[in-house]
Each structure stands twice: as structure tokens, then as C-alpha cells.
Structure 1
Amino acid sequence: SWNLILLETLKTRVVLVQEAGKREELLKALEEIKVPYIKTDTIEELGDSDSPEFESIFVVSEFQDSIFNNLCKADCRVIGPPVVLHCAQKGEPLPFSCRPLYCASMLNLVLCFTGFRKKDELVKLVTLVHHMGGIIRRDLSSKVTHLVANSTHGDKFRIAVSLGTPIVKAEWIYKAWEKRNEIDFCAADDDFRNQFKVPPFQDCMLSFLGFSDDEKANMEEMTEMQGGHYLPVGDERCTHLVVEESTVKDLPFEPLKNLYVVKQEWFWGSIQMDARAGESMYLFEKSESPGLKKSVSLLSLNTPNSNRKRRRLKETLAQLTRETDVSPFPPRKRPSAEHSLSIGSLLDISNTPEQSTTNGETPKSSARPSKNATPLALKQSARWQVAKELYQTESNYVDILTTIIQLFQVPLEKEGQLGGPILAQEEIKTIFGSIPDILDVHTKIKEDLEDLMMNWTESKSIGDIFLKYSKDLLKTYPPFVNFFEMSKETITRCEKQKPRFHAFLKINQAKPECGRQSLAELLIRPVQRLPSVALLLNDIKKHTAEDNPDKITLERAIESLKEVMTHINEDKRKTEAQRQFFDVVYEVDGCPANLLSSHRSLVQRLETVALGDDLCDRGEQVTLFLFNDCLEITKFNTFEAEF
């Protein structure tokens, strides 16, 4: 809305000067807002223009001619035709402005300038901003909505980056002025403004040290896409040397004082934020330096601390087994449970290799056993060993799901991201799907398994735990597994099309929580988890005595997992069949509408050649579509297939 100062004691009168008086839409707009008006070709005709009874507002079509200049010198109120049309459209009174106001395309925008050394250029830009309703501030603060930058150096630029204030080129103002006659145009519109944003590496000359040829080529390409240039290592014109800190321990030359030597996280962080990050946060230092400082990234996240988990496991499980590494990515020990399985082999879990019941070693424990603890010898049974592994893999799996959510999903969904949202909400939903729901279920399973291991007896039922959550597993897994390929495709497409997402993945996938695995590789874990659990439960069943009630319960638990996996396979087949069905409908010209039916599915497609003359000419190419209840025959011509 307008910030108005209404002069109620004076009558407002609009004076339409020259061309403005010939525009019918202006006359109609003034009638709608009930403001009297007169027309004039020259200012001299208005003998009573200085009358104290009237507050005259002059409407001028051009803000550069002699009439406009004379009105400004006389301190008259001057507005452009778009202001009148804007007020009529909004049902608002004409604004009072001490400066000439041509349009409202920068209304309520607060601008600050930096890096402009030519006074004439700055005066011109400021004047245009005022003509479009914008406000200028000398100092940058949180109230400034846009920083117009002619340089990426200086305090104003750094503050704008930290505040997330959009940083644009001067061209943004000039192009907005060209659209001054578009009533609904707003210069702050994201699609328009983003055309003129200052890219992260403007004014930067980058070199890359310690990267592979492919990685270096990729980063050089990204540099140019983000407004910078790249040079060979050692070139004196270079402003930034980006170092792969894991391979480079020392620099091959003594850097110049004005050269920033930064870690690669600065490079990817700048792209992710869509603005050049502060170099001081990412400075590279020699590994032998005694005063080595740890750089704290602005983009780092507080991920769950594994130390607390390790302490808790030591306290609860140390009496049961020697200390084990509970990293989300432990060494693979049991091929029966950990090898990757395809969806087609999910149900084939009967041929699990037998495991040795003893390993000939006595577990060492640093924790004092509780008074009610079962004798250690019982806890070394084969059944206990596999149950321990089931718990450990479940704990690792929960850690992986937590990493996916905390390190990737939460930051992508966060509001107020520097540079705006990295991905659209639809893309985020497609990538992560039901991962949060899967995590909720497995967190409960892990807690129940932990309680079971803490209070272990051979009669404790492991199968009951999975039967308890079988309905939840059936609800959460099929939606994710069936659309996993779409999730991977979305990641690949977004990484190619959106540099900020590519940078986001580079930063976070390099963190230790990911175990050097990509997001797509982490997301495949839910696809693999249920077969792994089924294999372990099958092993536990083999080492469970016949008179143990858990023997039957385990069989039921395995059957419940089979049901989930069968449901996944059936849904996957249905989804694929529906896709093939629609392919037929779109491919065949004139396809009957009644061919689409919920009970109908495509069985086979066959390319043939006609041998008779009944349906078409002999030798003509014919395609047969066999459905479960009918056969459709199509013939092929030069241009398209048709019935």
C-alpha cells in the first residue's frame, strides 16, 4: 500500500499534460477514483496553477522533456500515467510524493548501492529508483531489501551475503525502467530479479589444486557458469586457489598476499548460497602448521552425536560382547545378511549359509555384569550372536536414515535459505518419499531390540517385535521402494539442472556421516533392509530350539516380511503395467477410449507381418497388443501407427 500524506484541507486536481490528456484509459481511471481533472498542452495555460485552493498533480507521459524539467524546478507534484492506472486498479487515492513518481514497480523496495565510483552513473540510478517508487539508504541494514553491487568487495557486500539480502547488478534497475508502463510489473519478482543477480564468482579468477582431471574440469565449468574465470595454478592474476585438502598437504609455491587459498567447501558453499562466501571461514592451512585451525562452515549442520550412542551401548552391551564399532558404515561381516539383493530375490531367503556357532574366543567386557544378568556362557549362544548382529545392523540402519533426514532433507526443507529454496517442495517429496515414516518405525524396532538385548534370555521373543510392527512396515515401505527409481532420476536431473543442488550434495556427501556415499547410495538402504532382516531372522530361527515358543513366532515374522515384500513386488508390477498400458494408448492413433479399464492389463506386444488379405494388405507390418481379455491389432504406416 502507499505511504500517504493526505492534504485534506486542499482539493486535489489532476492536470493531464499534452499526450496524457489524450489517453481514454487515464480519463476513465480518474473518474473511478473520483478526482477532478483538466487537460493542457502548455503549463503557461494554467493561470491558477499556483492557487492555494488547489493541490495540483501533473500527469506527464515523459520524464525527460522540458515540461517535466520545468515542473520539477517549480517543485510541482508530478506523476506518470502508470501511477493513475495503478491507483484505479487498487482503489486507492493518488499518492503524495515529494519526488516525481512515474510508476509503482519498485514500491516499498529499499535499495543500497556499493562499488559505484562514477557519481554520474550513481545519480542516474538513484533517480530512476525514485521514479519507480523505491527508497534509497546509504547504509546496509536488515531493512534494505536489495543491494545493487558494482563490486563483490567491501563490507556492504559481505553483510548482504550474511543477511541473505538479494544482490543485483545495476542492469536490474535499467531493465525495470524499460518496463515502467506495465501496470502489474514488479521489479522484485523473483523470475525477473534473478536475471540480474550478481553471480557467486563475479570478479574472481580461480585455480584448482589437488583435484582429479574430471573433477577439475567440472569445477572449471561451474566457475564460468557462476560468473567467474579459471586460470592455471601459479598465475599471478588468480584471486582464489581452491585446494583439495585431503590430497594437498603443502602448496607448491609461496602464495601472494592478495591470493585467497581456500578449501573446496568455499567453492561449493558459494554456489549453494548463490553468493560468494566469506573466505576467512574456509582458509587452507598447511598440515604441519602447529597452529592449525579448524574451519567452521556456515553450511555445516548439527548432526546427531554418535558419542552418546556409543557410551550408552558400552554401558548396556559391554557385558554381552566385546566393544564393537557402531558406526553407520561398519565393515561387512555376514554375507548372508549384508549382500545386496534385487527385488526379484526378496522372497528367496531359505538358502542361507550356516554360520559357525562358536568362534573359539571369549568376549572381553569392561562393564561389570548386573546381579540379575544371565551367565555369560548363555549369552554366547549362536542365537544370541545373530540377535546381537540384528540389533547392531538395526542401530546402524537407524543412524543412516537419521543422516539422510538431518543432513539432506531438513536443510532442503528449511525456510529462509540463503539464495532461496534449493529445490521445489515437489522435488523434495519425490526424492525422500516416506523416509521419515520408515525412520519412525525402525526407531521403535531398535528400542525394542535394545531392551531385549539388555534383558536377554533364550526365551525372549524376537519374532514378536517384528510382528508388532508388521502393519507399519506394510504401510511405509511399498510407497518408497516402488518409486525409488523415480527418486534416483529426480536426484540425477536436479543435480544436472540446478548447480546449487549439485553444490549442496558435494558439501554434505563429503561429510564423515555419509561414509563417502552419495545420497542416492544412502537412499537404496531401505530397498535392501527388509531382505537383510528376513535373512537374519531366518538365521535366528535356525539357531532356535524346537521347544522355544519363538520358533513359531519367528516363522510368522518371516512370513509377515514376505507379505510386505510381495506387496512391494505386486505394486511394482502394477505400476509398470499401467505405464506400459498408457504407452500403448499414446502410441496408437485413434485408440478406443473403452480400451482403458481398471481390470485390463497388457500381457504382450508382438511385431508381425500380415500373410493374408483379411485385415490388411499382404506383407504389411502389423503390431499385436495382447491384453488379459482381448487382442488389439494395429497396422503401421509411414507416419504413425493406427488401428
Structure 2
Amino acid sequence: ADINTPFIMTDSVQEFGDGENTEFETVFVLTQFDSPEYNYLYKHEHRIVGPPVVLHCAAKDEPLQFSCRPLYSTTMLNLSLCFTGFRNKEEMKNLVNLVHHMGGTIRKDFSTKVTHLVAYSTHGEKYRLAVCMGTPILTPSWILKAWERRDDFRTEFKVPPFQDCVLSFLGFSEEEKANMEERTLKHGGTYLEVGNERCTHMVVEENLVKELPFSPSKNLFVVKQEWFWGSIQMDARAGESMYLYEKNDSPAMKKAVSLLSLTTPNSNRKRRRLKDTLAQLTKETEISPFPPRKRPSAEHSLSIGSLLDISNTPETCKSSKPSKSSTPVLSKQSARWQVSKELYQTESNYVDILSTILQLFKHPLEKEGQVGGPILAQEEIKTIFGSIPDIYEVHTRIKNDLEELLTDWSENRSVGNIILKYSKELVKAYPPFVNFFEMSKETIVRCEKQKPRFHAFLKINQAKPECGRQTLVELLIRPVQRLPSVALLLNDIKKHTSDDNPDKITLEKAIESLKEVMTHINEDKRKTEGQKQIFDVVYEVDGCPANLLSSHRSLVYRVETIALGDQPCDRGENVTLFLFNDCLEIARKRHKVINTFKSPLGQTRPPPPLKHIALMPLSQIRRVLDLQDTEECVNAFALVVRPPTEQENLLFSFQLAGEETVKSAWLRTLCRHVANTICRADAEDFIQCTDPDSLQVSTKDMDSTLSKASRAIKKTSKKVKVEEVAFNKEPFQY
């Protein structure tokens, strides 16, 4: 190779090695590191490199790597190794020398800075630490194999995927665009602004861009973002024909829900119109969060679908044809059946999410023969996904059993037995995953930073509709949240189970079995601060249910509001909403304070300022409505609620009273936790911007109440600062 640097060929290193030259530094390039010449130069502390180092630096137009030790190649540059289990010191000394010759460093003690552990056996503390931290553990033969291939420096001269490409980016946020531009440069390309005639490719965010700002020339490839990330993932320019952007004019893209305008003074007609509007609003939320997949029996699937269509109101039930296996009239089903149905629906959604994790992420990463080689090491894949396959297997069976039970329902059928049947498998599958979830998350973050191909892999797959715009970390947190949600639903079923029903005792046993699984999860996972906040709520709200206190529950958000309708309390009442990760506590300001309360220690404490109205599971919220600001209605929102015992949707409407609450942030947080609770991936689809007139909601007479409420909040309410818990940053702990 022509490196454009003067050099001298010699057969005798002594003539250069003996002399002292102050004008130049002599660097010796040797092809053999086990020769007399090497031993002579090493003994006299000369700078020695191998041909791969020279070619590496020439390719990158960099000065020669400085190393205090002889450096043959850069194979292990930036790697930090630790050894364990070696008894033969001579063997280990030889391996250490080879690692140094390839640019790696050695650490005596294991720490977070170690990138690889070289182990002779599975015994010892270093091995256990490496397993816990997700550090790759390799055999000594890995070092020997790398040394065998020390001259294989072809990758340094590999043509990068965007060589001679000039890219532009349309429809991306500033942050995404900056990220993509930086990666374009790293992978051999350049970038210009959209519309520049020198561009060879325009990468389009196909989900946001509905039409191009200009007609592209024949020489410009207009491609979806998957082309960009796909090229990086396989480290070669992907064929454009597979990823060409096409304008999407399908009705689905233009779909918008129009609400009926209610102008008639007739209250009965208004009520009927409102009921129709609420049914229409909730209709879209009841679809599966994932695209439909073919099932073994289409007929059976249809019958189950009609049986479990939660959006069916009594009116729609009468008009629809009953399927062979469903119960003819849904409106007459018991509350016990309704909650059992909710358990099945959330279980079905959860199984779909687990399937997505396996099909979209785990299996492709494990696939052999990937273009460009493996994206992740097997150890990293194992650390990220852990026991997800075991969790998926057991929940698939639970889901199938629940489906069979609901298809052939009777009040004496046992829901509790289904959970008890799989309790041992749950104990086996969950603790390993939940206890090491933080490590799983850290491995994803680390690999995404260090491995461009993995970052590209995530970008491609997280953009697919199956993920509901959620990241892999956000999907993997679902198992952390699932068992507490099942326990809540079983408790709800137990409430609606008569004392003479054998399932009452079985359900209690099932709930206990789930608690047993949770006790196997590390105690340090409990959030002490979160528990303290719940105690504060219980003290502040008179009549607050004791079952609010739970080890898995955490307070997420507190909002001060004024009721705008007649539910869940009278219009004009000051209402405080406490959002927990799985439920909503609704409390109003107390009208009268009768007396002070005494603690067991004899000390008096102020009376609770709030009165309990309802503790509502988030699974009962069917839609969150962001009410548009009008002359008649300002800073308001509404919840479409469907308790299992009710036959119709209920509307709870509120006006925000606290100045510090940003409505959009509050509603987004609420929707996210509703989606988590019912195991749906499409949190954004729960919120809808709506005209308040269509729902007969007004804040016109609330001005005085609002100012009073604001003053009351500033004077009397104890300031409780609750940080919003974003689920992709902080998992719910037990």
C-alpha cells in the first residue's frame, strides 16, 4: 500500500537500534513478533508496530498510534479485559501479551470499565459479577483466534454504506435530523438541506409527511427512513427500490372522528345524543393494539371477537347477530363476567406485546447469517431478554384457558383455578427477569450507544405499527407491571363473587399465590418514597379505601380541578385527582369539619381536608378527551368511563384549577398509564381533541369558583411535589 511516508527496508535492526538519533524517532515495523529481531528491539525499548497498525492509520489519515508496548494491530483497541479462573501463570502471561499486541488493556480487578471477561471456568466472584452486569464472558481461545487473524485488516478499507451519497432529511424533528446527519458522516456520506440539486437521496419520515414539497428529479431517490437505518444495520447501501416513498391517500390517513352537534333544547334528546357520542368516542379504543393476525380458525376467532367486544352497548347488541359460541345478550351478563372479560382482554393484549418483543427483536437478533455479521453478542441478547420466552409461554396458556372459560361461561366456573394452575411456572419465570430488569435496560442503552448497527436495528423495528411507537425498553417494562395488575383484577372479580361460590376461596388463594411470586422479587425493588406518598394521600382523604396501600403502587400525579358535570360529584365541587400507576383516586373538598382527629399517641392532627368519592381502576377509562378552548369552555378535559357494573358509558368532566398544571402534560401522563394498565401499546390513541359543545360541557359560570379554588389551593393544601414517573426511565417496583 502506498502510505506516502518515507521508510527504510533493512535486514539488520542493530544498525538502527544501536544509534541515538535526536532528530528523528525510529519506528520499527515488524511482521514477526516472535523473532530475534523483536526480542532485541523490545529489550532496548524501541517503538515497535505491526503492518496492520500502519495500514489502519494510513486509511484513516491519522498519525501512528502511540503505545508504550509493541503494537502489532488495532484488533482490540478500546477493549478492556479481565481474567479469571487461570491456574497456569505462563499461559495467562502469554494471553496478556497477545492482548497488549492487539491494542487491548488488562485490568486486574473486575469493574464497570471491563468490556470482556476471559474465563477459564464458571467459578469465582468475577464470573458472577460479569453475569450480573451483562459483561460478555469469553474463553481464552477468543484471544488466540483474534491473534491468528491479526493480519485481517480488510474491514479498515471496507466501502462505507453512504460512500458518494448526498442525503437530505424531510419530516424529522431537529434532534432526529441532527442524529441522522451525524451518522451520515460517520458512514461515509454527506448531507445537504432538502431541495438542494446535489442531493442523491431524500430520506422521508413517511408517517408524518403526507406530500412532498416539490416534484423530485429522476436522479433523486426519495426513500423511507428504513432505507437509511437498514443501510447502517447491514453496513452496506440498501437497494432503494424496496424503500421508495409513496404518497399515502388512503382513507385511514385522513380519518377524523366528527362529533354530533347538540343544539336541541330537549333534555331527553340531548341525553340520547350524548350517549351516542360517547359510544362513538369509545368505539375506536376497543380495537386490538396490534394488526390482525390469522388464527387457526377464523370462525372461532369471530365468535370470540363478538363475545368480547367491550364497545357493545345494549342497542348494538340487539341489532347484532349472536355468534354460535357467545352468550346472546351481553347486557344481562353479571359484573363477575364483565371483570373476568376485562382480565382476558388485558391478558390477550399482554401476550401480543410479548410476542412482538420475541418476533420483532429477540428472534431477528439471534438469527444466523445476518448481513454484516451478528448485531449483538449472544451474552448481550441473553442479558436483554432474559426469561421473556418463559413468561410468554405461561401467559399464552393462561390466555387460552381464560378464552375457553369465557366462551362456555357459567357463574360457577373458576377463574382463580387458572392462576393457581400456573403459579409454580410464574414463580420460576418472573423473578429472574424483574430482578435484572435494570441490567437489561442498561445493556440496551450501552449497546445502542456503542453499536451503530444495533441503534439502526432498534430504529427500524420500533417504527413498526406493532410497537405502537414505543421503544424496546418501554415494551420490556410490561412484565414488571403485569402481575400487580392481575392481582388487582382478581381482587375485583372476588368482590363480585358471592360467598357461596367456591371460586371465592380459590380467588383468595390465587391472589396469595401472586403475592408469593412478588416476594421472590428483591426487597430493594420497593419504593420507600412512593409508599410514604400513598400514606400522605390516605391521611389527607377522609374515607380513602385501605386497599389503596399496596407495595406495587406509586403516586404519579396530583391535579386540582372543578367538576363540570353531575358525575362523579356535583357541578362546581372542588375535586382533587390522585393518579397512581394503576388507579385514580377522586376526592372532593370537605364541606364541613366536624372535629379534630387524635392519633394513637394522643397528639391531635388537622382533620382530612378531602372527602373520598371513588377509587377507580385505570382500566375503566375508555377515552381521555382534551376539550378545545372556546368562549364557553376553558382549560377543561373529560374522561369517558365504563365501570363493569354499568351498562352505559359515563362522562366525568373537569376544569383544571391549579395554575401550575399543564393540561397537555397531565393528559399525556394519564393516557400512558391507562395504556400500561390494560397492556396496550397505543397510549396516544386514547386521547382525543373534542369540541366541548358536543358533550354539553361548559365552564361559563365557573370563574368565581375557579378563583376561590386557586386561593384555597395556595392557602390550605399541603404542597406535595410529585415528579412525573416516565415509565421508560423508572419501572414500577414491588
- Aligned to 1:199, which of 160, 171, 184? 160
Equivalent of 1:211 in 172, 175, 187: 172
Structure 1 residue aligned with 2:586: none
Question: How does the TM-score come out when normalised to structure 2?
Answer: 0.45
CA contact (8 A) 1:208 1:243 kept: yes
Q: Is 1:509–2:462 an aligned residue pair?
A: yes
How much does 1:322 deviate? 3.7
CA offsets, 1:500-552, max 9 Å, x none?
11111111011111111111110010011001100100000000011000000
Helix, strand or coil at the partner of 2:167: strand
**Structure 1, residues 21-77: CA drift from partner, whole Å, max 9, x if none?**
x99xxxxxxxxxxxxxxxxxxxxxxxxxxxxxxxxxxxxxxxxxxxxxxxxxxxxxx
In 2 relative to 1, CA 566–312 (structure 1 residues): closer, same or farther, beyond 3 Å?
farther
**Structure 2 counterpart of 1:111:** none
Aligned to 2:511, what secondary structure does the other structure show? helix
Task: Tell me by how many angstroms 1:310 deviates.
Answer: 9.7
Aligned position for 2:341: 388
C-alpha deviation, 1:249, in angstroms: 2.6
Matched with 1:397 is 350
Distance across 1 between alignment mates of 2:239 and 2:351: 35
Which amino acid counterpart does residue 241 of structure 1 have in structure 2?
A: M
Compared CA separation, residues 562 and 269, structure 1 to 2 (3 A):
same
Match of 1:315 among 302, 315, 329: 302
Q: Describe the shift of the 1:369–1:246 C-alpha distance in structure 2 as closer, same or farther (beyond 3 A).
A: closer
Distance of 2:330 and 2:195 partners within structure 1: 66
Q: What count of residue pairs does the alignment treat as equivalent?
A: 357
Do residues 254 (structure 1) and 215 (structure 2) align? yes
- Per the TM alignment, residue 231 of structure 1 is displaced from its structure 2 partner at its CA by 1.1
Task: Say if 1:379 and 1:320 are closer, same or farther in 2 by CA, change over 3 A.
Answer: farther
Aligned residue for 1:460?
413
2:433 is matched with 480
- Secondary structure of the structure 2 residue equivalent to 1:418: coil
Q: CA-to-partner distance for each residue in 1:342-367, whole Å, 9 max, x for gaps?
A: xxxxxxxxxxxxxxxxx876735745
Over 3 Å counting, the alpha-carbon distance change for 1:527 and 1:454 in structure 2 is same
Whole-angstrom distance in 2 between the partners of 1:368 and 1:547: 31
SS of the residue corresponding to residue 306 of structure 1 reads: coil
Find the aligned partners of 1:500 and 1:274 in 2 and give their Cα distance: 8
- Residues 361 and 383 (structure 1 numbering): CA distance in 2 closer, same or farther, change over 3 Å? farther
Amino acid at match of 2:302: E
User: For each residue in 1:426-449, what CA deviation from the matched residue of structure 2 results, as whole angstroms up to 9, or x when unmatched?
Assistant: 111111110000000001101111
Letter in 2 for 1:526: P
Q: What does 1:166-205 correspond to in 2, within 5 Å?
A: 186=149, 189=152, 192-205=153-166
For residue 264 of structure 1, report the CA deviation from its aligned partner: 1.0
Match of 1:417 in 2: 370
Equivalent in the alignment of 1:363: 317
Q: Give the TM-score normalised by the residue count of structure 1.
A: 0.51
2:229 maps to amino acid: W
Q: Does 2:518 align with 1:526?
A: no
Decide whether the 8 Å contact of 2:318 with 2:329 is kept in 1.
no
C-alpha distance in structure 2 between counterparts of 1:278 and 1:425, whole Å: 29
Query: Partner letter of residue 295 of structure 2?
Result: R
Q: CA deviation at 1:224?
A: 0.7
What SS class does the counterpart of residue 208 from structure 1 fall into?
strand
What is the root-mean-square deviation of aligned Cα atoms in Å?
3.6
- Once the two structures are TM-superposed, the CA of residue 230 in structure 1 deviates from its matched residue by 0.8
Taking a change above 3 Å as real, the CA distance of residues 441 and 195 of structure 1, as seen in their structure-2 partners, is same
CA contact (8 A) 2:234 2:371 kept: yes
Contact 2:204 2:224 in 1 (8 A): yes
**Aligned equivalent of 2:423:** 470
Cα distance in structure 1, aligned partners of 2:346 and 2:504: 21
What's the CA shift string for 1:474-502, capped at 9, x where partnerless? 11100101111111111111111111111
* CA spacing shift, 1:426–1:416, aligned 2, 3 Å: same
Q: 168, 182, 190: which one pairs with 1:229? A: 190
Residue identity opposite 2:518 in structure 1: M
Q: 1:40 matched to which residue of 2?
A: none
Amino acid at match of 1:281: M
How many angstroms apart in 2 are the aligned matches of 1:229 and 1:571?
A: 49
Counterpart of 2:404?
A: 451
Residue 293 of structure 2 aligns with an amino acid whose one-letter code is: S
Amino acid at match of 1:460: R
1:281 aligns with 2:281: no
Q: Corresponding residue for 1:408?
A: 361
- SS of 2:295's equivalent in the other structure is helix
Q: Which amino acid aligns with 1:463?
A: G
In the alignment, structure 1 residue 438 sits paired with structure 2 residue 391:
yes
Change over 3 Å in CA distance of 1:364–1:531 after alignment to 2: farther
Q: Percent of aligned positions with the same letter in both sequences?
A: 72
2:293 is the alignment partner of 1:306: yes
Assess, with a 3 A threshold, how the Cα gap between structure 1 residues 319 and 420 changes in structure 2: closer, same or farther.
closer
Match in the other structure for 1:264: 225
Structure 1 residues 320 and 244: CA distance shift in structure 2, 3 A = closer
- Residues 392-446 of structure 1 show CA distances to partners (whole Å, capped at 9, x for unaligned) of 1111110000000000000001111001111111111111110000000001101
CA contact (8 A) 1:415 1:421 kept: yes
AA paired with 1:258?
N
SS in 2 for 1:235: coil
Secondary structure of 1:241 counterpart: strand
Counterparts in 2 of 1:375 and 1:209: CA distance versus 1, 3 Å: closer
Cα contact 1:322–1:364 (8 A) shared by 2: no
Output aligned runs, 1:109-124, within 5 Å.
Answer: none
Q: Does 1:537 align with 2:498?
A: no
Q: Distance in 2 between matches of 1:404 and 1:288?
A: 31
| Partners of 1:271 and 1:503 within 8 A in 2 | yes
The answer on whether the counterparts of 1:409 and 1:432 sit within 8 Å (CA) in structure 2 is yes
| CA distance in 1: counterparts of 2:342 and 2:454, whole angstroms | 36
Deviations 1:199-250 (A, max 9, x none): 1111111111111111110100110111111112222221111111222233
Question: Any idea what SS the aligned residue of 1:363 has?
Answer: helix
Equivalent position to 1:496, from 426, 430, 449: 449
Q: Which residue of 1 aligns with 2:511?
A: 558
The corresponding residue for 1:4 is: none
State the SS of the aligned residue for 1:308.
coil
Cα distance 1:214–1:319, how it changes in 2: closer, same or farther (>3 A)?
A: closer
Deviation per residue, 1:100-138 (Å, 9 max, x gap): xxxxx9xxxxxxxxxxxxxxxxxxxxxxxxxxxxxxxxx
Distance 1:523 1:236, change over 3 A: same
8 Å Cα contact 2:171/2:208 also seen in 1: yes
Distance 1:569 1:310 in 2: 42
SS for the counterpart of 1:261 is strand
Q: Which amino acid aligns with 1:440?
A: E
Which amino acid in structure 2 is aligned with residue 277 of structure 1? A
